[in-house]
Structure 1
Amino acid sequence: MYSMLKRMRQDFNVYVGAETGVLKGLHLNQKAVINKNFNNLQSLERGHEITSMIWGNEEQNEIMMGLHNQTIRVFDVGIKAFTSSRELKVGEGPIVSLAKWNDVTISAVKSGQVTVWHGDGAKEINALKSGEFLSRMRQDPQSPNLIATGGKENDLQLWDLNIPDEPIFTAKNIKPDMLQLRVPVWVSDMTFLPEPNCIALATRHCHVRMYDHKRQRRPVVNFEWEESPLTCITPVADKSQVVVGTAHGRMGRFDLRMNKPEQPVGIYKSFAGAVRDLVVHPHLPLVFSVALDRFLRVHHLETGKLIHKEYLKSRLNRVLVRDDFEEGDLIPSTEKPKREWMKRRKVIEEELDYDPSEGGVEKLRKIEDDEVW
């Protein structure tokens, strides 16, 4: 038992960021959950709120965090310590998103400045030539030189960092409604889909849209879901599906290539606050989400069943999940551990030259505690 807990403390498989500025590491497991705060709680201030969180490299041994006070902090997963801090002083408002491209860091702030930070300087992009503020920036994982931006009265734009002077794509608003009134624009989040040239987004006005930026400027798919602002959206690996969260604690999965994409193919329940961030694991049928009700939740992607939830005391903003997260950590095997132990017992008895009269019972109990529990 002790050896298992020691191993769990060394290997956190989920990280969450909170409004209070706390970074928490968790090891989710069927038998025990370990969580740890990596900050000195007495030194935290309101401006330390974590507003963006990404992996700093492909090996996932570094976490980059954007804070409300325009500071970028880097956390080393291996040594479990903060290794660097940098204050931006660009534009106004908090950092809304971060991205990494080779050795270049890209930051976006609420006032619309997207900055590409090179080792010897910086290149600034004005992503808010029209509109009120920027809500989100996302990077294309298949083409890291491409980023998408959007916000309030600032529709989806696509930028190529190799030629950043002008966007290579600017979305066009949908047609007026049945009363011939203009439909307001407020992009809350967007994501690049596995399909080439396709981007999906969610809006604060309850719309889910999909764009093919090589085909047309207006969305190829557009529908409304719920009567609640949509807060976040993430893709499902290798499918034309997205999972969307709302400000009223609802989460649904949609297939954007179905004849009726507005009908969810899955609903995820058990929320009591706005869903702030979510991640679909790239290899496992698991959906991780954090909400303002202070819970981290894990749902099964296909069945919608709530597999695990963990109360973490703080209002949560962001979540990161390691790619090497193991399915067996949360989804139990079909065979009970006791049965597996009984199969091994005879082999172990032979190895120990088992004799109940010479302390053999105590040896077996110790091995059973280590292997089964």
Structure 2
Amino acid sequence: MQKIIFYVVVLLCLVVTKIQAQETFEQRAKVIAENIENITREEKKILKDKVDVINTQLENKSITREEADKMKIEAATFHAKRIEERVAFEESRLNTLIKEKVDGKIQEASADSVTSKRVSIIEVRYRKGNGNGKRKEVIEKRTTSQLVLAGGVNNLVTGGAVANSKFRYWGSHFYEFGLTFNTRIMKNNNLLHAKYGMSLVYNNLRAVDNQYFVKNNDQTELVTSSTWLSESRLRNIQLIFPAHLEFDFTPKKVNEKGETRFRTHRSGRIGIGGYIGANLQTRQFLEYQRDGFEVEEKQKSNFNTNGFVYGLSAYVGYRSTSLYLKYDLNPLFKNNSADQNNISLGLRFDLN
């Protein structure tokens, strides 16, 4: 768990954009990202204060080294749990936001408002006053950064096909939160971009026919439960490092002085590439009734899943919204007789 929180903190601490809550999808999504960042910052600060107190007690010899180490581990575990619980609430907000976006309940930001509120490293020449009446030319870098949010359906390809799956097609979901950098490859042409970064991915699989996963030595099998399961879900959390070659069809703009400005994410875009990463955690969630009580069972195990992850991905869309496809080239489980590869399809939002 501490390793997972470390990667989450590293990822989210990179997202430092200050925004205000508005009615557009992009701005509301950024508010959620900022909330997640504040959660991790607050919990880390409290944990640091506790560790400082423990170190003081250790220096005063009021506790032993073994007691100090134990107290630090307990404090770190407590705040890791706190981060997980508080971030889970923000994830539910993001899930609702994406559904509203898909249903068309959220207005699009106008081109002018997006441009005026964009916080990124856009390569563009402009003139800026320096306070003494003179104006100097500033040339910014040609690399931009984007917050990536994605979500959709998730399933397993078995025997080269996703048909007749043992997992719910609309009930199995994936979510991705990431940060990417977009670098224009050619100096005087806006078509080709290198897009790279890192993402935290949640892949969920919900079994059908009242089944759940059981680890049987080096095999992981679906078995039928003797008790009716109202919920049966396997969740894998991955940290991946994607890289894409992006074709951005945004036309260049020439101002009244003949200066060329290269813009991004203003027209159609196509991205082709892949990713590598690691599976950080696997858990199974079961819900059922026993003796008139609702029981929620959480099972933590590796379930023989592959620790190393790699695959192919692509997206095609317009402006910040794209249709997104990911496919793991390595099987989900290490030693099963039949290879089962994870596949995800959904919407992706690259927010400047």
TM-score by length of 2: 0.24
Higher relative contact order (CA 8 A, sep 6+): 2
TM-score by length of 1: 0.23
